[in-house]
A and B are shown apart, each in its own frame.
Chain A
């Protein structure tokens, strides 16, 4: 064993160029894997954060009939006494914000807009005082100001504003239906333009004050949902289930959905994207494996005669195989260390600096709730996996190549050139 270790070490240091080339091929593959994994993970984490901060909140209380009809944005299934629920939640020190969601047609008139037009979108009526205890929309106002209670003003996203050519102070009309189904028109003025990192909100949602909406929609104090901010590290699903049970005594007939339930479409989409990303990662690995296989096969082939000599002198096949495996393990170790270092350097760059994809994808919806700067996230598990995989892959390739060389007869090996 001592001799085999010494032989492996000497071969590694003697064939330095080959060792470095093989290790470098492995390092590039592993480094690329760690980098890609970090970037994808960063995008996923930021997406989920932007989903909770701007779209779903951690959890949401709804009338138990609402969920089935949610795509129609009904005003029929409401929380009629939101103050009771909000009071109970305040007692539990759970930040909460009531909202009413309804569909509407946004109508623009020529002057000050460039031309007449309309578009259908989702209107969120928010409590300007309570909403920023749960959501972070207020922090994203880039022109004008945030809403104030009771005013007939509206907030629109920067993407939508750019599409419409809208500016702060421009008038808009929202045509909708009241709770009882009658047509209603709300004339509002743009109070502010927000630029939220969640593209889904940025391009297709407008916000008006909750009491203004209540008046026009004849809601009589009812809201369609109460959004909750739960501790970030807690299991939102379990907390939502516990809250639903506790709230039954306060306001019967409420469902509490965690952000995972609320974002099931996004999560399904993210799962699909993850599968596609995994295919890319597998391809990266395959390229690395092919590179390593090639150099290892060449390295073993060029030493076929040496291998034949060792067998002729009485070394058992298992000893020869072990000698080559130790050597390959050494190359794998060097390559894995280099790969992890490369991956850490690349990940550091993508985590701390990120890549501004704004210019490339513009306002295109790529599904993730991120736009502009795409950052990575540290993922130590992927580094450990890559490190172990690098060594195992090299040893496995060497095992197969050595096996092939050992199937050759000793006399054939000695004649090999």
Chain B
């Protein structure tokens, strides 16, 4: 479970101080399929970064599984992200020199998992995202949709508590984007993993089970949908 209590974040751009998030409070349950929506500059990425422990709020507190994020030091946060969080980025962010299999398996090799298990889990996850037969292909030789599938496999292979996806379909055509969303929805149900993804695309919002809308760094609506 994630809880954000009156979280604010400001950025300084030159002389100007920009309020990226203002007193944001939010709670999300373990199996949610939650979309953070809003126009560019509304604070979506900042919110994901704070939940993902890759940035710290200026004020307020974030609790993950009832533990305050601020209580952890840099090293503890790295280990926390390693074990509990999965990330999917808008630009895929795969390591270009590693094959699809190696991109997925490397997150397991950071954990104390033995080689046979790493191989079994990585291959299974690549199969699950529809990339059987592409294990030895470098990212540069995969389509955008296939690269995002590798990124999703990388995020899920360690069975994280939460997967954070920043505009996961923004660089994909609408058909591929829809396929990716269906895949994420299926994995959310199958693995009981919380998915939080940001978007400004109405088609993507339609897939969300819960839609939190941001505007100028504030939550302006929070609606649950029945699917």
A interface residues (Cβ-Cβ under 8 A, vs B): 2-3, 6-7, 10-11, 13-15, 305-306, 309-317, 319, 409-411, 414
Contact = CB atoms under 8 A, between A and B. Distances in A.
Interface of B: 45-46, 49, 52, 54-55, 74-75, 78-83, 85, 87, 89, 91, 93, 95-98, 102, 106-107, 109-110, 154
SS class, residues of chain B in contact with chain A: helix
Given A316-B78, A411-B54, A309 B110 contact: no
A65 to B, nearest CB: 77
B197 to A, nearest CB: 15
A10 B97 contact: yes
Contact of A306 (B95, B109, B154): B95
A314 B81 contact: yes
SS class, residues of chain A in contact with chain B: helix
B54 A314 contact: no
Given A3-B106, A3-B109, A410-B54, A312 B87 contact: yes
Given A13-B97, A305-B93, 11 more contacts: A2-B109, A7-B106, A306-B95, A311-B54, A312-B54, A313-B81, A313-B154, A314-B82, A314-B83, A315-B110, A411-B46
Nearest to B50: A411
A328 to B, nearest CB: 15
B36 to A, nearest CB: 16
Contacts of A316: 75, 78-79
Nearest to B115: A2
A314 B78 contact: yes
A2 B109 CA distance: 9
Given A411-B49, A411-B55, A414-B54, A313 B98 contact: no
Contacts, number: 69
Contacts of B79: 314, 316
Contacts of A313: 81-82, 87, 107, 110, 154
A4 to B, nearest CB: 9
B55 A306 contact: no
Given A14-B97, A316-B75, A3 B54 contact: no
Contacts of A305: 91, 93
Contacts of B87: 309, 312-313
12 contacts: A3-B106, A7-B98, A10-B98, A305-B91, A309-B87, A309-B93, A313-B87, A315-B110, A316-B75, A410-B49, A414-B54, A414-B93
Given A3-B106, A411-B49, A411-B54, A315 B96 contact: no
B52 A312 contact: yes
Nearest to B49: A411
A414 B89 contact: yes
B212 to A, nearest CB: 20
B110 A14 contact: no
A2 B95 CA distance: 16
Contacts of A414: 54, 89, 93
Given A313-B107, A316-B78, A11 B97 contact: yes
Nearest to A314: B82
Given A411-B54, A411-B55, A315 B95 contact: no
A309 B98 CA distance: 14
Contacts of A310: 95
Given A305-B93, A306-B93, A410-B54, A311 B98 contact: no
B93 A314 contact: no
Contact of B97 (A7, A311, A317): A7
A317 B102 CA distance: 20
Contacts of B80: 314
A6 to B, nearest CB: 8
A407 to B, nearest CB: 12
B23 to A, nearest CB: 20
Nearest to B90: A414
A90 B149 CA distance: 93
B110 A3 contact: yes
A305 to B, nearest CB: 7
B81 A312 contact: yes
Given A10-B98, A314-B78, A314-B82, A309 B89 contact: yes
A312 B164 CA distance: 11
Of the listed residues A3, A11, A15, A313, the one surrounded by the most CB atoms of chain B closer than 10 A to its CB is: A313
